[in-house]
Amino acid sequence: MAFRSAVVTFPGSNCDRDMAVALEKVSGSAPLRVWHGDAELPDALDFIALPGGFSYGDYLRSGAMAARSPIMQAVVGAANRGVPVLGVCNGFQVLTESGLLPGALMRNAGQAFVCRTVALTVATSQSLFTAGYEAGQTIRVPVAHHDGNYFADEATLDRLEAEGRVAFRYAEEVNGSQRRIAGVLNEAGNVLGMMPHPERAIEPELGGSDGRALFESAVQALVSA
């Protein structure tokens, strides 16, 4: 069965092609490309990716404008029906702004744009995105962001941890994120937002392949469903 995925492009997205290449290399099927102004998604999608970048120039707040674009209503609807949705970097910001994920991504505590490969700890293997990792495993994935400082109130953070919804943590100080959270899942586990870029780490030629298992996990979850 072909893996039917879609990558959404907003004005100012700049990792949409990388995301499409990663999905095609891992799944064997080229993703469909969707524009922010589209009102509908293609039918019967197995996976939706919101890529990194600087949608709408980060106007107002990072991800704020993109979260109100026409396609996002369709993405929210698909997510609520259980379609897996991955948001990376700006895609994570769009997911929090759209309400699909709790919390917010604020300016890095050090105020500087951080662009380097960082160590992450896999916090749970109990999700369709992280099943290919071991809980507690350390992986190395690039980050490139100015607004990656994850914030949520204490009650929300406690709930995320209690419910196993923290997917990844920074193994080192990166941006001031509460409890070093690098990626979170929604309640149903089918929506993942993360600041690090797994699509930039899918083969040794890119400097690392630790991100590949995330895409393999998602493809495997479909095949075995």
Partner 1 sequence: MKVRIHVSLKPGVLDPQGRAVHHALEGLGFSGIADVRVGRLIELDVADGTSDADLEAMCRQLLANQVIENFRIEKLETA
The burial class, CB within 10 Å (0-12 / 13-18 / 19+), for 49 is buried
**Among the options 15, 97, 145, 199, which is catalytic?**
199
The question of whether 89 is a catalytic residue gets the answer yes
Please, what is the minimum distance in Å from the beta carbon of residue 222 to partner 1?
A: 32
The site for partner 1, by CB under 8 A, has a size of 20
- Based on CB atoms, which residue is closest to partner 1, 2 or 112? 112
Pick one of 68, 140, 159, 179: the residue that binds partner 1 (CB under 8 A).
68
* 197 catalytic residue (yes or no): yes
15 is catalytic: no
Q: How far is the CB of 109 from partner 1 (least distance, A)?
A: 5
Tokens describing residue 9: 């492009």
Angle CA 199–116–85, to nearest 5: 30
Secondary structure (3-state) at 114: strand
Written as six digits, the tokens of 208 are 């690392």
CB 183 within 8 A of CB 167: yes
Is residue 61 part of the contact set for partner 1 (CB under 8 A)?
yes
> Binding marks (x or -) toward partner 1, 73..112, rule CB under 8 A?
-----------------------xx----xxx-xxxxxx-
| Strands ordered across the beta sheet of 138-145 | 32-35, 5-9, 47-50, 85-88, 191-194, 181-185, 166-170, 114-122, 138-145
Least spacing, CB of residue 39 vs partner 1, in Å: 19
Give the footprint of partner 1 on this chain (CB under 8 A).
Answer: 60-61, 64, 68, 96-97, 102-104, 106-111, 149, 151-153, 176
